[in-house]
Structure 1
Amino acid sequence: MVKRHNGFKRVKLVFSLLLLTAVLTITTAPINAELIRVNILTSKSRLQNTHAKTENLLQQGKALYDAGRLAEAVKVLKQANADFERSGNKANQVVTLSNLALTYQQMGQLRDAEATIARSLNLLAHLQISNLDIAAQTLDVQGKLQLAQGQTEAALETWRQSANIYKKNGNEALLIRNRVNSASAMQLLGLYYQAKTVLTEVEQRLTKQPDSLVKATGLRSLGNVLRVIGNLNQSRVILEESRKVASNIQASTELGEILLSLGNTTLAQYRNLLYIQNNEAAKKLVQQTLEYYKRAELIASPTTRIQAHLNKFRLLIDDKQISTALSLLPQIESELKNLSPSRNSIYAQINFAESLIKLQQNNTHISLLDIAKILSASVQQAQILGDKRAESYALGTLGGLYEKSNQLAEAQKLTQKALLIASSLQSGDITYQWLWQLGRLLNQQGDTRGAISYYQEAFKTLESLRRDLLFMNPEIQFSFRDMVEPVYRELVGLQLYNNKNYQPSFENLKQARYVIESLQLAELDNFFRQACLIPKVNIDQVVDKKDRSAAFIYPIVLKDRIEVILKLPGQDNLAHNQVEIAQSQVEDIIDKLRGDLQEPDYTSQVQENSGQIYNWLIRPFETQLTNNKIKTLVFVLDASLRNIPMAVLYNKQQDKYLIEKYAIALTPGLQLIDPQPLQKVQINALTAGVGEKRVINNQPFAPLKNVPQELKQVKSEIPQSKQLLNQEFTQKNLQTQLQQTSFSIVHLATHGKFSSDPEKTFILTWDGLLKVRDFEKLLRTTDGNSLTNIELLVLSACETALGDKRAALGLAGIAVKAGARSTLASLWSVEDSSTAFLMGEFYQQLNTGMSKAEALRQAQLAVLQKDKKPFHWAPYVLVGNWL
């Protein structure tokens, strides 16, 4: 029984081993790792010469695997393989070796898994078997192993071969599982649309089937994959279909699994919404999630029931429903005691311990000693079962608990043991966590150099995992702020050591700049739920040759300060300034400024707060910028700074906005762009817009009366223009035009919204909402192998979502997905007559050969001269190539 104390008292932990620091919410893995079923692959005629004892061993091995008792499963499967080999039953030996390989993989023993599947495939090559499903499922196992080893393309090819066999045999159930696995691999490769096509195919196959357990299970698997790749709304729709099927056929056990999955999807929606802002919609999702878990508890198997209880327990704690959470303690403790020793039971105990640590932090006086006992038992159980991965998790978590109780030496020993195991398993997804934990521990002990070393190793591990991280830990995408982002920020904080008497070395400044850019890329990966952003160019190698009047500014927001790095053209050194101010205070000022910018008559308030930000970012470097004759400032913005236009920063001493002195551009990372001037050819444009009132999916969009005038202005400056207005501006027509003609400029005058949720980042067309993930497909050339060559994408009348602190991720996402060199957009929607005037001025200046950034500056100044209110001229930002 977990004890509660009347007052907080730091308890000396007395255990010499055992616990975990990863946030573990039990979820369904994206890749189905089910063992090959004996009853599918063998027949009585093939087993007639095989002893019943050996048959039972194979069945027993599967039962142990399903129960999470992997080391025991290995022993049994090895014995079954030896028996089949002695009896000459090579077909069942293939099955056994394949299952053994899959078990090794689940244990993290990839070398043993690789050697075992190779033996299975070698036997298979010399067999003449009538049941080709044996071959197909063996290939499926090989594909899973290849994926675990990072050989994603090879896994896809292997699964393609097995899919062909399933299609030939008409084995619909195994084909569906195969295609779901393939879609997951495509997602990891950044092949989002290919994955979407496969998943659509799976959905169509399932829909055509009559209600059955196979259909219910297939839809559940599809819904889980959609959740992992971030398509939460569709995941919920598919899971609801699965629920209906399971209800119709009265499959109560499967229905319990489906309800758990539905709870996990709505939980993900809740976390995603909370990531933006805490509002009524988030509260509704909490209640819906709790209801799904409650219903799952009533009918589910014991394993599923404890998962639902643990997930509900964590949610109640996160939602500050502490008394309700505490009421669940006796039931959860009782259920955990009744679980048989297995990997699932170990992870359940770790999950429970993590939640108890959160409860203890909420001053509920949970005993740290009792939490340590739970984790100690988890370690011992993992050691008995021979489950090294689970042992590493438990040890590392126990180290984290010692860290929280300020017993740093003990914490360090435990974490080092956890790291040693994780490294031996080549499990990067947990290795980086223990490296990070060791970095924190050394930093707390005053060993800054040692801390930086561990942080750098954690950072390198995260960078190497960019493609695989979401697959290995589906929860990472929803705990990015807690489990990934801090590694980057804390490393930068150490590299730019907060000490007035300390000046960071050039090497530290250079590394900090690289780390913060890498964080920008990681955030976009998390935004898309896929690793798709590969740096294109090292900016320092090219920019000095193309624009020696551009300087680059990196503001970095840390918990207790702002660090600003300045890169000047033609200079190897980096300038640096530090402002001591709490992150919460920074965000308050930015939020206030963002709100004031929405009000046309709040100019004085805008100047006050934007002047403060000017003092942080620009004033320390005024002399250097002037002496180096800088004309353009390119910002790599961090955190909430991305939601405000740098043009509005106000120099109170000179009574000037930043745009009055400099052209300005933004980029999500200078590694992503290769700055090139607009090609010296006659430019042409595709213009499209929706000016009339529209209602899409019950969402009303007000008319934009000046859209026809805006498109007319563009055509007057660019005679070679094709126009799609109102009914003509459909997604199909847009795609047709882009694929038929190579346009250098695409100008879209329509409603749009940028959000930190890709599902809520869209552009309005006449017939629907063009979402950010569809941009790449839309802009593909007719052969589908490359993106259309767009120099400039213009999105007018768009806006960032109010209250969403990271809404500008959506703008950066569109800029990346469009594949255009530059994207010009508005952060909020202004009177469309002002927009039409500004766009006319912009294209007029662009026609003179001026850079895009300078053309935008001149257009904004033209509006400013007519109306000094920032509301009208400030929202326009240029993302990407500024030349």
Structure 2
Amino acid sequence: MWLRKLLNIKSHSDSRISFANQFPLSTSREKSAKEALTMYKSAIDNLAHIRDSILSSNIDIQLFFQQEVEPVYRDYMKLLLKDSNPNLKEVIQINERLQTAQLENFLNCGKLDLIALNDIPDLNSAYGIIHIIDLDETIEVIVQSSDRSLHHYSVEANIVKDNVSDLLWSLQDQKLATIDVQQILLPSQALYEKLIAPIASYLPASGTLIFILDKSFQSIPMSILYDGKNYLLEQYSIAATLGSRIRYPKPLSKKRFTALIAALSKPSPSLLDRNAPKGVRSLPKAKEEVKDVQSHTQSSLTLLDEKFTTPRLEQEISKNNFPIVHISTHGQFSSDPLKTVLLAYDKVINIREFDKLLKGKIQTDADAIELLVLSACQTAKGNKRSTLGMAGVAAQAGARTTIATLWLVDADSTALLMEEFYKGLKNGIPKAEALRVAQLVLMKNPKYAHHYYWAPFLLVGSWL
């Protein structure tokens, strides 16, 4: 039955071309457009009904989703935006469904327990929600202001994607710390001018910007965008979400500063695993980071080096309640689940194993982890959708907020950042703002002013 529905979706997908070709010459263009929109909506609704069947099937069906079904979502959004007065709310909802379906497909899991931003009644008034959607020929930017009004801007994709590629090329370079700052500033400023400047008047003067990013934009820290004088980070705290859906946001209570800290500071068997990121070495200064986190939490349990094994990690998480889980180890985020990994002392843990490791705890206490910090991780070089892996880890952990790094960072500067970050949390500062303040401390330190030190930190999920 579900295969017949899949084929039905495929026929809807094929029919979209004939509808699009009719528009310029048809005498009943409006009717054809409405029929096409109805077909797209029906196809996507059918897909929602059979998601579980797809996810439990073989890899060919999952590949079918990526190659044949995903374009249906995007073409539906294109068609919606052709209207002279487009239904922006519907575009956002379809993009939201696409992003969530992508993650479920990546994780090979059932429906995730996420809530749409618009279903949160008490959002902080000083915020802006920015959707950046890649529709192949165009990049669509939709901003939701603090009064919940929607505003839309469209830009040709070819004048944006070159800057994205240039910026990613620099940020993923192993010699990033020595790259001329101008190599980063030029594409960062160009992206600001093309994506942010046209909608800047709809944004608050300060507060939090929440980004819902598509494709290769997910691997760019939006904090790095530059208006010619200042970085976006200097004006706003910044959070990223998956398709504008997150776990219900709430602040970290001062009474819940109990942490599980796991770290690798010396060579381990996992470094030799064939699935470990290439060229990684031990992290001797991870011990200092551990001490800093310990000093800023009420109580903590530390698994350092030989104690940081998968059985021990599973044991501690299953029997104890740790609102904060801080892991300082090598890791890699990729759009390939098997290459999205964290290194314990004994072995490499890929994202599917990470799910099994945490599943028992999540089933009994969905809010067990308020804050998951993944220090010393990196995105897979050349993989433009690698932060799908980061969102996947956050979802598997059941974490309300996840902070991770987009590239392998300097140990000394990271220790300083973490010290400032946890200090801010203890003082009651919201997570995204605490991270911003900590990043600014690095930025204003001449020793750490280069983007390499302060820019890689990304907050996914709740900003409160």
TM-score normalized by the length of structure 1 = 0.49
Whether the aligned pair in 1 keeps the contact of 2:292 and 2:415 (CA below 8 Å) is yes
Q: Which one of 193, 198, 209 corresponds to residue 620 of structure 1?
A: 198
Higher RCO (CA-CA < 8 Å; seq separation 6+): 2
1:514 correspondence with 2:90: no
Give 1:610 deviation, angstroms. 1.2
Match of 1:609 in 2: 187
- Residues 1:474 and 1:711: Cα distance change in structure 2 (over 3 Å): closer
Residue 630 of structure 1 deviates from its aligned partner by 4.4
Of 473-482 and 703-712, the range deviating more from structure 2? 473-482
SS at match of 1:564: strand
Aligned equivalent of 2:222, options 638, 643, 646: 646
> Does 2:43 correspond to 1:469?
no
| Deviation beyond 6 Å, 4+ runs, structure 1 | none
Structure having the higher strand fraction is: 2
Q: Output one character per residue of 1:91-136: Cα deviation in whole Å (capped at 9) or x when no partner.
A: xxxxxxxxxxxxxxxxx6xxxxxxxxxxxxxxxxxxxxxxxxxxxx
Q: What residue number does 1:789 align with?
A: 368
1:729 to 304, 308, 311: 308
Q: Decide which of 242, 255, 271 is 1:668's aligned counterpart.
A: 242
Q: Is the contact between residue 206 and residue 235 of structure 2 (CA under 8 Å) also seen in structure 1?
A: no
Partners of 2:39 and 2:116 in 1: CA distance: 26
Q: Aligned partner of 2:420: which letter? A: E
Match of 2:289 among 687, 710, 715: 710
Match of 1:744 in 2: 323
Preserved contact between residue 329 and residue 343 of structure 2 (Cα < 8 Å):
yes
Q: Which secondary structure does the structure 1 equivalent of 2:170 belong to?
A: helix
In the other structure, the counterpart of 1:69 is none
User: CA shift at 1:669, angstroms?
Assistant: 2.5
The 5 Å alignment of 1:5-404 reads none
Q: Deviations over 1:134-158 (max 9, x none)?
A: xxxxxxxxxxxxxx6xxxxxxxxxx
SS in 1 for 2:252: coil
Q: Which residue of 228, 248, 251 corresponds with 1:677?
A: 251
2:402 aligned counterpart, secondary structure = strand
User: Any gaps of 5 or more consecutive residues in structure 2?
Assistant: 24-31
SS in 2 for 1:844: helix
Which amino acid in 2 is paired with 1:685? A
1:870 aligns with 2:451: yes
Equivalent residue letter for 1:872 = Y
Q: Which runs of 5+ in 1 are unaligned?
A: 1-107, 109-147, 149-425
Could you tell me whether the CA contact under 8 Å between 1:551 and 1:630 is conserved in 2?
A: no
Distance 1:473 1:431 in 2: 19
Which residue of 1 is the match for residue 382 of structure 2?
A: 803
Q: Which residue of 2 aligns with 1:547?
A: 124
Shift, 1:719, TM fit:
3.9
Query: What is the CA-CA distance between 1:436 and the residue it aligns to?
Result: 2.0
> Hey, what does 2:72 align to over in structure 1?
487
Matched, 1:533 2:111: yes
Following superposition, the deviation at residue 808 of structure 1 comes to: 0.8
Percent identity over the alignment is: 37
For 1:840 and 1:755, the matched residues in 2 are separated by 28
Judge conservation of contact 1:789–1:820 (CA < 8 Å) in 2: yes
Q: Equivalents in 2 of 1:783, 1:680: separation in Å?
A: 22
8 A contact 1:488–1:519 mirrored in 2: yes
Q: Which amino acid aligns with 1:436?
A: S
Provide the C-alpha distance between the structure 1 equivalents of 2:125 and 2:367, rounded to a whole number of angstroms.
29
Aligned partner of 1:125 in structure 2 is: none
Correspondence for 1:457 among 30, 38, 42: 42
Q: Tell me what 2:335 maps to.
A: 756
2:399 is aligned to 820
Q: Does 1:431 align with 2:4?
A: no
1:693 corresponds to: 267
Partner Cα separation in structure 2 for residue 858 and residue 770 of structure 1: 32
- Between the aligned partners of 1:847 and 1:608, the Cα distance in structure 2 is 37
Which has the higher Rg, Structure 1 or Structure 2? 1
How much does 1:428 deviate? 1.0
The amino acid across from 1:455 in the alignment is Y
Aligned partner of residue 634 in structure 1, secondary structure: strand
Q: Measured at CA, do residues 702 and 474 of structure 1 come closer, stay the same or move farther in structure 2, by a change above 3 Å?
A: closer
Report the secondary structure of 1:555's partner residue.
strand
Q: Residue 788 of structure 1: CA displacement?
A: 6.1
TM alignment of 1:576-595, pairs within 5 A: 576-582=152-158, 586-595=160-169
Q: Is the 8 A contact 1:439 1:450 kept in 2?
A: no
Contact 2:246 2:462 in 1 (8 A): no
| CA distance in structure 1 between the partners assigned to 2:360 and 2:331 by the alignment | 24
**C-alpha separation between the residues in 1 aligned to 2:157 and 2:457?**
28
Q: Distance in 2 between matches of 1:783 and 1:651?
A: 42
* Structure-2 residue corresponding to 1:504: 85
- Assess, with a 3 A threshold, how the Cα gap between structure 1 residues 474 and 876 changes in structure 2: closer, same or farther: closer
Distance in 1, matches of 2:66 and 2:260, equals 39
Residues 587-642 of structure 1: CA distance to partner in whole angstroms, max 9, x if unpaired?
A: 3321210121242223111111111211232111222213xx44101111001000
Note if contact 1:762-1:772 (Cα within 8 Å) is conserved in structure 2.
yes
In 1, Cα distance between equivalents of 2:16 and 2:362: 49
**Shift in Å, 1:705:** 1.8
**2-structure distance, mates of 1:730, 1:473:** 31
Query: Partners in 1 of 2:442 and 2:264 — Cα distance?
Result: 23
The corresponding residue for 1:632 is 208
Question: SS in structure 1 opposite 2:325?
Answer: strand
Cα distance in 2 between the residues matched to 1:463 and 1:630: 38
| Structure-2 change in CA distance of 1:473 and 1:560 (3 Å) | same
Aligned to 2:354: 775
What displacement does 1:539 show? 2.2
Query: Is the contact between residue 550 and residue 634 of structure 1 (CA under 8 Å) also seen in structure 2?
Result: yes
Q: 1:658 deviation in Å?
A: 0.6
Q: Secondary structure at the match of 1:609?
A: helix
Distance 1:667 1:536, change over 3 A: same
The C-alpha deviation readout for 1:64-94, integer Å capped at 9, x for no partner, is xxxxxxxxxxxxxxxxxxxxxxxxxxxxxxx
Change (3 A) 1:707 1:680: closer
Question: Whole-Å Cα distance in 2 between the matches of residues 546 and 470 of structure 1?
Answer: 33
Deviations 1:191-210 (CA, angstroms, capped at 9, x unpaired): xxxxxxxxxxxxxxxxxxxx
**Distance in 1 separating the partners of 2:328 and 2:376:** 6
1:853 pairs, out of 432, 441, 453, with 432
CA-CA distance at 1:784 after TM superposition: 5.7
Q: Separation in 2 of the partners of 1:478 and 1:541?
A: 32
Whether the 8 Å contact between 1:439 and 1:453 is mirrored in structure 2 is no
What's the CA shift for 1:780? 3.9
| Greater share of residues in helix | 1
Query: How many Å separate the matches in 1 of 2:147 and 2:4?
Result: 42
Q: Match of 1:768, as an amino acid? A: K
RMSD value, Cα: 2.0
Offset, 1:799? 0.2
